[in-house]
A and B are shown apart, each in its own frame.
Chain A
Amino acid sequence: MRSRILQVTCGCVLALTCAASAFADTFKAGLLTEGSATESGWNKIAYSALQRIGEELDAEISNVEMEANPASFRKAFEDYAALGYDVVIGHGFQFKDAALEAAAEFPDTVFLITSSDVFEGNVVGVNLNTFQPFFLMGVIAASRGDKAGYIGGVEIPPITNALTGFRNGTKYVNPDFKVLEVMTGSWNDLAAAKEAALSMISNGADTIVPNANISALGAFQAVTEHPGIVAFGTFGDYTDKAPQQILGNYTPDLSQGFLNIAREIKEGRFAPDANILFGLEHEDVVILQFNDGAEEPVSEEMRAELAKIKAKLISGEIDPTVP
């Protein structure tokens, strides 16, 4: 009874305020981030994706900076969907539940959830296959010596998956290869990463792979103090931190990935059969670039070999998740 009265009152207000919600034919994309969208780092990836969608797809874009409170996410998804948005990005696993709940009512909107293992109707997870590029780094490391060091930040799936890929890459070349590993437990503790790198080097590691956000800088410091040691940059171009010694950088461009998906949605070609996993076959998203200015750059023969392995990774002939 009370809800009936509520409905009537609300209906009246609705009629008054919401008379002009005409649906235009422009492509609309929305983004939900937890916290500021423009700060560098995680949220920035999605925000720049949104801006590129706006510019390159001539789309109407909008974003909302949510508080860290999963209870408020569903309404935001529904708000976008009700306004006729074609795609809404929820940037982080925490958006998954809310998107699933909202999606049932709004089948015409695609909900993309970053780093989430989900594929249910119009809710699709978007992930990077971190196994593959690190597998290739492992191959390179194993061709140069018999020990390498991997420095992870916090022990979360993307970081441990990368380690698994790296280790399996080294084993692919040399089954006896040894990977020393340290998880510093921090994304910004440069000193801890440096200490880890130093102890790895003194234990005989020839290659150092820091995968710990900004604290990687500490590891590169340790590398520059030891000529002859080589390193890889991950999730960013770190070449100038050790120009002689960095062999290459893993510089994934997830915003390009979002742009690709949005383009498919706009053109009506988007028909995934599983959650989206950007791997080496997406050459504009998952990028492993080499530093030609290094003292001993990755050789031409090695690059040819890597291209073959890459093809096998893409075809599935090599599974980087198992040794």
Chain B
Amino acid sequence: MRYAETIKSLGAPVLAIAIALAFGALLIEVAGFSSVEAYSEMWTGIFGSMRNFSEVLLKATPLILIGAGLAISFRSGVWNIGAEGQFYAGGMVAAVVALQMEGVNAWISIPVILIAASLAGAFWGGIAGFLRARYGASEIVTTIMLNYVAIILTSYLVTGPLMEAQGLFPQSDRFPQETQLPRILSGTRLNIGIYIAIIAAIVSWYIISQSRRGFSMRAVGASPDAARYAGINVNKNIIYSISYSGALAGLAASIELIGVTKRLFQTISPGYGFEGIAVALLANNNPLGAIFSGALFGALRSGAEIMQIGAGVPSVLIFIIQGLVIISVITLGTIRAYRKLRPED
């Protein structure tokens, strides 16, 4: 019975992906390219080599973390659109801390960086949570605004106080070697970040669906008034949930920085925070599902380059496919809800 439910819940996302890929193929053909060639090149880009596959997991890491965090936030009825800003907040703090870690043992420096960045992300999310809880300010608006603040602050840092010693380009100095996140596959840059992401997703799933705290969060998400009537502290849960998702976004940023870029740039995120929303949606706000939807979106991103090199299809096409996935998910969800309301049809 339970398995049947699980399979049923998987059906919608799989169908959505299939629809999106089919429409994507149509678009490619209309644009004058070969969809078969494009998709087979993309397949090569994803599974064609050890290195390619490791890049998929590398790209999936921040998406899984952000998606799992947002899933919790959304389940609690908190519309955190600010994962992008929380990612930048985490990135800034990770960079500031990492630059101080010259000569510090990696066993100390790396956990310190990861924790500091998580706290920064939690704080950034917490601001919006506090404003919502205390003053009823819409977190949709405040988180979007805070995105800009964090991104512009990052620009300021890399053109000002944290600008490289050479003083030429808007980027920080390279982080000391001690902060390099351990690699797990020789010859690739896949690092332990993917393990951290998967563990975080499992922990998130446990929190939201198995723990007492998660129960109150879900109660708040389902109906704040009912939750309040039942004696649940609604405000506290709002702040907890958005801070939690902020913490995972900040953690994602620190992994990206000390694992991959090793510098702070103006553009440390190509929109992971927004893509994370899609990851959570496709996973039906289930943190475990975010592992798979994150991997899928990571694969699309990662395969896109080879698709452009091999088949000449502009890599931006994958964003259209991603958009189509989301539209399909939402449409299928609406159809399902409609059927539930009118079972006799």
Binding site for B on A (CB under 8 A): 3, 6-7, 10-11, 13-14, 17-18, 30, 62-72, 74-76, 78-80, 82-83, 93-94, 97, 101, 105, 117, 157
> Hey, which chain B residues are within 8 Å of A6, CB to CB?
50, 53, 185
Residue on B nearest A30 in the bound complex, by CB: B309
Complex alpha-carbon distance, A302 and B266, angstroms: 46
In the complex, the answer to whether A71 meets B268 with C-beta atoms within 8 Å is yes
Closest to B301 in A: A72
- Residues on the A chain within 8 Å of B263, using CB: 70, 97
Q: Which residues 216-232 in B have Cβ within 8 Å of A in the complex?
A: none
19 inter-chain pairs at a CB distance below 8 angstroms, sorted by A residue, are: A6-B50, A11-B50, A18-B44, A64-B315, A65-B315, A66-B315, A67-B271, A69-B267, A70-B261, A72-B59, A72-B305, A75-B305, A78-B51, A79-B45, A82-B51, A83-B309, A93-B168, A97-B262, A101-B189
- A94, B264: Cα distance in complex, Å: 11
Which residue in A70, A80, A83 is a CB contact (below 8 Å) of B267? A70
> Which residues of A lie under 8 Å from residue B268 when comparing CB positions?
69-71
The reply to whether the CB of B269 lies closer than 8 angstroms to some CB of chain A is yes
**Cα distance A14–B53 when bound, in Å?**
10
Is B256 interfacial (CB-CB < 8 Å)? yes
In Å, the complex CA distance between A290 and B5 comes to 78
Task: Name the one of B49, B184, B266, B271 contacting A82, with C-beta atoms under 8 angstroms.
Answer: B49
Neighbouring B residues of A79 by C-beta, 8 Å: 45, 52, 305-306, 309
Minimal beta-carbon separation of B175 from chain A (angstroms):
11
B305 near A64: Cβ-Cβ < 8 Å: yes
Q: CA of A80 to CA of B263 in the docked complex: distance in angstroms?
A: 24
Shortest beta-carbon distance from A99 to chain B in Å: 14
Q: How far is the CB of A157 from chain B (nearest CB, A)?
A: 6
Q: Which 8 A/B pairs are nearest by Cβ-Cβ distance?
A: A69-B270, A68-B267, A67-B270, A13-B47, A71-B260, A93-B169, A10-B50, A64-B308
- B53 to A10, Cβ gap below 8 A? yes
Looking at the complex, which one of A65, A75, A78, A93 makes contact with B316 (CB distance below 8 Å)? A65
A117 touches B189 (CB 8 A): no
The residue in chain A whose Cβ has the minimal distance to the Cβ of B269 is A69
Contact yes or no, A65 B261, CB < 8 A? no
- Which residues of the other chain, A, contact B45 by a CB distance below 8 angstroms? 79
Cβ 8 A contact of B50, one of A7, A67, A71: A7
Given the interface pairs A17-B43, A17-B47, A18-B49, the reply to whether A75 lies near B267 with Cβ below 8 Å is no
Q: How far is the CA of A82 from the CA of B267 in the complex (A)?
A: 26
Q: Is A80 a contact of B315 with CB atoms below 8 Å?
A: no
Tell whether B55 is near chain A: CB-to-CB under 8 Å: yes
- Report yes or no: B302 in contact with A75, Cβ–Cβ below 8 A: yes
Residues of A within 8 A of B302 (CB): 75
Residue of B nearest to A78 (CB): B51
**CB-based nearest A residue for B312:** A62
Q: Which of B14-47 contact A (CB under 8 A)?
A: 40, 43-45, 47
Q: Given B44, B174, B312, which contacts A17 in the complex, CB threshold below 8 Å?
A: B44
Q: Give the distance in Å from the alpha carbon of A78 to the alpha carbon of B55 in the complex.
A: 11
- In the complex, what residues of B have CB within 8 A of residue A157's CB? 168
Encoded as 1 (CB less than 8 Å from any A CB) or 0, chain B from 113 to 136 comes to: 000000000000000000000000
Q: A7-B50, A13-B53, A75-B305 are in contact. List 9 more A-B contacts (CB 8 A).
A: A6-B50, A10-B47, A14-B50, A17-B44, A63-B308, A78-B51, A80-B309, A83-B309, A105-B187
Contacts of B160 in A (CB 8 A): none
Closest to A117 in B: B168
A127 to B269, CA, bound (A): 28
With an 8 A cutoff between CB atoms, is B171 at the interface?
yes
Is A76's CB under 8 angstroms from B168's CB?
A: no
**B314, CB-defined interface residue at 8 Å:** yes
Q: Do A94 and B50 touch across chains, with their CB atoms under 8 A apart? A: no
Q: Kindly name the residue among B43, B169, B171 whose own CB sees the greatest number of chain A CB atoms within 10 A.
A: B169
Chain B residues contacting A68 (CB-CB under 8 Å) are: 266-267, 270
Given contacts A62-B312, A65-B308, A94-B169, contact A3 B270 (CB under 8 A): no
Across the two chains, which residue of chain A brings its CB closest to B59? Answer: A72
The residues of B that contact A75 with a CB separation of less than 8 Å are 51-52, 55, 302, 305
Given contacts A65-B314, A68-B267, A93-B169, contact A74 B50 (CB under 8 A): no
Report how far A74 CA is from B51 CA in the complex, Å: 11
- A128 CB to nearest B CB, Å: 15
> With A17-B44, A69-B270 in contact, do A3 and B185 touch (Cβ < 8 Å)?
yes
The verdict on B48 contacting chain A, using a C-beta distance below 8 Å, is yes
A17 partner residues in chain B, CB cutoff 8 A: 40, 43-44, 47-48
Contacts of A62 in B (CB 8 A): 308-309, 312
CB of B265 closer than 8 Å to a CB of A: yes
Closest Cβ of chain B: how far from A150's Cβ, in Å?
Answer: 21
Measured CB to CB, the nearest residue on chain B to A157 is B168
Distance of A68 Cα from B265 Cα, bound (Å): 10
Which residues of chain A have C-beta atoms less than 8 A from B184's C-beta? 3
**Chain B 249-289 against A: per-residue CB contact (8 Å), 1 yes, 0 no?**
00000001000111101111111000000000000000000
Cα distance A71–B174 in the bound complex, in angstroms: 14
Contact with A along B90-102 (1 / 0, CB 8 A): 0000000000000
A93: which B residues are within 8 A, CB to CB?
168-169
* Nearest-CB residue, chain B, relative to A63: B308
**Could you tell me the distance between the alpha carbons of A93 and B267 in the complex, rounded to whole angstroms?**
13
CA distance A69 to B168 in the complex (A): 19
Identify the interface centre among A67, A74, A82: most chain B CB within 10 Å of its CB.
Answer: A67
Whole-angstrom distance between the alpha carbons of A3 and B261 in the complex? Answer: 23
Q: How far is the CA of A60 from the CA of B31 in the complex (A)?
A: 22
Give B55's nearest chain A residue, CB to CB. Answer: A75
Complex interface: chain B residues within 8 A of A80 (CB): 309
